[in-house]
Amino acid sequence: MREDAQHALAQVDEARLWRRHVEMARIGAIPNNGVNRAALSDEDIAARTLLISWARARNFGVSVDGIGNLFLRREGRDAVAAPVMTGSHMDSQPRGGRFDGIYGVLAGLEALEAIDAAGLETQRPIEVVAWTNEEGGRFPPCTMGSAVHTGARALEDFLEVKDNDGIVLKDALARTLAATPDAGARAFGSPAAAYIEAHIEQGPRLELEGKTIGVVTGIQGLRWFNIEVSGKTDHAGTTPLKLRKDALRDAIAIINALHELTRDDSDTLRFTVGRMLVTPNSPNSVASHVLFSVDLRHPDRATIDRLGQAVEPAARAAARQCSVKVTPTLHDDPRVFDPGVVDIVEACARELALPCMRLASGASHDAMYMARVCPTGMIFVPCENGVSHNEAENAKPGDLAAGARVLTAVLLELAGR
Ligand code: GLV
Ligand code: MN
Ligand code: MN
């Protein structure tokens, strides 16, 4: 590694990176060290404002696109060259932790600051992006910002999505955009030379194997559906069971059938029903309507295709009394990352003498969409007991800084000198 690159790596400041995680975790803090920072909420706006203040203190450029993806930019020697991008997301799960997403944004900013502090010029600009609504916990589906930015989905597809309180995405987005009036406007689909995302692993493998760096080879396939069951509300005390159209009873039958459909002795397949809205949601009224989510994941394309296609027929066959509507909301095929970027991540980790291993991601990330438009890779760092999407999510300051150093080295390599 060149001496000036080593100088930049030495500027990665573990204490500052940790302090920023602590500061961000105050925004949307919930008991037990958790974070609830829903996409396009007041807390999301506060996180954006804080991030922009850190970027402006270093004179990095700030711009926002039409779905609120937020870009911080350090210019390169060639101002018109496509930037190398890094980043992740600042929104969290409703009972999320302090690292999922925000680590990739803060590690990106740390790398940018380190390169800046070392006074290094890169050929290409480098940008840190905070993608809007990666989690999809408030406004499903997930990875919305990167899907729209890369042109895989249209913004219009999502504007009418409602959260559990009936708030429409388009209104929450307008409030969020209005909160950062000084950010420059950014078009969708701006080209990127490469994308590299840092993230906690969200699984146990790195910790179990005693590795500090995960060299991520790709992301498993994903299908999401909304299933709506429509029946009729009735008096719980008086209506004979045989006369009912009980939407909740049928919803449960459907969920059981889907568990059967997705049974997998190898425990590779992932099937989750995590969200359910029951109407009228009263103990003594028969449910007239149930909406629930289906999240289905598998690394093999043929398997995820077959199962994805089987969801609707299985749901219809399981319903006894009610009508069923199945709406696919997300369709991501398994994605293999660019071998060149994967090799660079591994080479940088080895050069820094950090124990590393290759692994595929079980979780989804915005890198999935960026991989459609440019050479892409990811860097994982361990998280305690592999726990994530949980308040107990935890990571070590030293591991976070090690990941940021690898990220800095990879960015320098990709951006050219
Ligand atoms: C992202 O949080 C995912 O659901 O994998
Ligand atoms: Mn994440
Ligand atoms: Mn997540």
Average pLDDT over all residues of the chain: 97
- Name the pLDDT band for 77 (thresholds 50, 70, 90): very high
Given ligand 1 and candidates 99, 131, 135, 271, which is best to mutate, with the most ligand atoms within 8 Å of its CB? Answer: 135
- Name the pLDDT band for 176 (thresholds 50, 70, 90): very high
Spell out the residues 6+ positions from residue 255 whose beta carbon is closer than 8 angstroms to its own. 273, 292
- Does ligand 1 have an atom closer than 6 angstroms to the CB of 91? no
- Does ligand 1 have an atom closer than 6 angstroms to the CB of 144? no
Q: Look at residue 26 and tell me whether its pLDDT is greater than 90.
A: yes
Q: What is the pLDDT of residue 385?
A: 98
Size of the chain in residues? 417
- Does ligand 1 have an atom closer than 6 angstroms to the CB of 364? yes
Q: Look at residue 161 and tell me whether its pLDDT is greater than 90.
A: yes
Give the chain's domains with CATH numbers: 3-220+334-415 (3.40.630.10), 221-331 (3.30.70.360)
Nearest CA to ligand 1 atom 1: 364
What pLDDT, in 10s, does the model give residues 281-321?
Answer: 999 999 999 999 999 999 999 999 999 999 999 999 999 99
Q: What is the pLDDT of residue 277?
A: 96
What distance in Å separates the CA atoms of residue 92 and residue 200, rounded to the nearest whole number? Answer: 13
Q: What is the pLDDT of residue 350?
A: 98
What distance in Å separates the CA atoms of residue 39 and residue 137, rounded to the nearest whole number? Answer: 8
- Name the pLDDT band for 395 (thresholds 50, 70, 90): very high
Q: Look at residue 14 and tell me whether its pLDDT is greater than 90.
A: yes
Question: Which ligand is closest to the CA of 88, given by its number?
Answer: 2
- Does ligand 1 have an atom closer than 6 angstroms to the CB of 135? yes
Mean pLDDT of 391-395: 98
What distance in Å separates the CA atoms of residue 30 and residue 18, rounded to the nearest whole number? Answer: 19
Q: Look at residue 79 and tell me whether its pLDDT is greater than 90.
A: no
What distance in Å separates the CA atoms of residue 85 and residue 195, rounded to the nearest whole number? Answer: 5
Mean pLDDT of 161-166: 95
Q: Look at residue 45 and tell me whether its pLDDT is greater than 90.
A: yes
Looking at the chain, the whole-number percentage of residues with pLDDT higher than 90 is 99
CA of 406 to the centre of ligand 1 (A): 23
What distance in Å separates the CA atoms of residue 192 and residue 212, rounded to the nearest whole number? Answer: 28
Q: Look at residue 110 and tell me whether its pLDDT is greater than 90.
A: yes
Q: What is the pLDDT of residue 215?
A: 98
Given ligand 1 and candidates 139, 142, 220, 388, which is best to mutate, with the most ligand atoms within 8 Å of its CB? Answer: 142
- Name the pLDDT band for 1 (thresholds 50, 70, 90): confident
Mean pLDDT of 145-162: 98
- Does ligand 1 have an atom closer than 6 angstroms to the CB of 92? no
What pLDDT, in 10s, does the model give residues 351-366?
Answer: 999 999 999 999 999 9
CA of 142 to the centre of ligand 1 (A): 7
377 contacts 342 by C-beta, under 8 angstroms: yes
Two tokens, residue 103: 């680590």
- Does ligand 1 have an atom closer than 6 angstroms to the CB of 415? no
CA of 269 to the centre of ligand 3 (A): 18
Q: What is the pLDDT of residue 2?
A: 85
Nearest CA to ligand 1 atom 2: 135
Question: Which ligand is closest to the CA of 363, given by its number?
Answer: 1
Two tokens, residue 413: 């390599």
What distance in Å separates the CA atoms of residue 183 and residue 173, rounded to the nearest whole number? Answer: 15
* 272 three-class SS: strand
- Which atom of ligand 1 lies nearest, measured to the CA of 93? 2
- Does ligand 1 have an atom closer than 6 angstroms to the CB of 142? yes
Which strand (E) or helix (H) includes residue 228?
A: strand 221-230
What distance in Å separates the CA atoms of residue 59 and residue 81, rounded to the nearest whole number? Answer: 20
CA of 71 to the centre of ligand 2 (A): 17
11 contacts 118 by C-beta, under 8 angstroms: yes
Mean pLDDT of 206-230: 98
CA of 2 to the centre of ligand 3 (A): 36
Q: What is the pLDDT of residue 296?
A: 98
